Amino acid sequence: MGGTVLVTGGAGYVGAHGCKALSQAGYLPVVYDNFVHGHEEAVRWGPLERGDTADRARLDEVFERHRPVAVMHFAAFTAVGESVADPGKYYRNNVGGTLALLETMAAHKVRRFVFSSTAATYGLPDQVPITEDQPTRPINPYGHSKQMVEQMLLDFEAAHGISSAMMRYFNAAGASPDGDIGEDHDPETHLIPLALDAVTGRRPALTLFGDDYPTPDGTCVRDYIHVGDLADAHVLALDYLAAGGATRAFNLGTGTGVSVREILESVRRVTGHEVPHVVGPRRAGDPPVLVADPSRARAELGWSPRLSDIDTIVATAWAWHQRRGNG
Ligand code: UDP
């Protein structure tokens, strides 16, 4: 395979890793990004086109110029708390922007779509590990915005023959082992970068959100997946779609749960320092346990995580963190 792939949000954390993996697999990634959260220095593997996903005229121009064989759609707002405070921002960008993108694809007869979805579509799951056929009942506007797009994708497949791989990420984490790309959110809300910042003193002690959950050590359990493994799954999804695969959701996680306290232990092992922390109240909307059953991605995409044991995730994040701190 090969050819040009339009990568929205390609200047962001997961999107930049996607571009790198595409380039290594022989594709040309064309980044389409509005730089609300993206970083120009993360665009290294192909041309850059500035633009907003809601801008039909600009999208038409870019599709005309580059004639992509497929689209990988990473561009989205992703902060759960912000989505509760300002749902319009999330529906406008994540739903409205994706609609404009899909209509552009239909007009230009581009029929392969890889979509960044989320485990947040499941809400409070009935059972863990979570399989893709469990009901999706999101509990915040961010999750709703992604679920709505998944519904649109089924309708666009029926009407326009656009097939989609809906990639339901669990907890994306880690940095490129080469040290060239990593996580740099503003504001940062994610556990591992906040724990590393607490170790270096760049931020105050971490607040551990609740230690009275019904889990073995009382803290929330999540399924952390290395961003490089996520990127690999996206490239494999292109093969799946090229082989005629139908629109389908894929869980991207390891199948192994790790508690917040186990993350802090891993940070101690990797950095040699205890994470300064205080135990605070639970954060609203945090389910006690979210763990993927990733069997479908393994069976149908041939995907298996390579970099996702927790010490590797933390070590790559730590290397990136130190490099960024120095630069
Ligand atoms: N967490 C925490 N303190 C923080 C940030 C996160 O205790 O400052 C916990 C959070 O409650 C959750 C886990 O760490 O159980 C992962 O949170 P994160 O925000 O990284 O990802 P999420 O699971 O919300 O997607």
Measure the CA–CA gap between 175 and 116, rounded to whole angstroms.
18
Angle, nearest 10°, between helix axes 141-160 and 98-108?
Answer: 10
| pLDDT for 1 | 61
| pLDDT for 185 | 84
What SS3 class is residue 172?
strand
| pLDDT for 327 | 39
In this structure, what token pair is assigned to residue 148? 């709505």
Cα of 115 from ligand 1 centre, angstroms:
23
| pLDDT for 198 | 98
- The low-confidence residues of the chain, meaning pLDDT below 50, are 326-327
Model-level pTM? 0.97
Measure the CA–CA gap between 228 and 313, rounded to whole angstroms.
10
| pLDDT for 258 | 98
Picking from 29, 15, 4, the residue whose alpha carbon sits closest to that of residue 176 is: 15
CB atoms within 10 A of CB 144: 22
What SS3 class is residue 185?
coil
Q: Considering only CA atoms, which residue is closest to atom 25 of ligand 1?
A: 171
Q: Considering only CA atoms, which residue is closest to atom 15 of ligand 1?
A: 220
- Closest ligand 1 atom to residue 206 Cα is 8
Residue 28, beta-bridge partner list: 4
| pLDDT for 186 | 84
| pLDDT for 279 | 98
| pLDDT for 325 | 65
| pLDDT for 184 | 84
DSSP 103: H
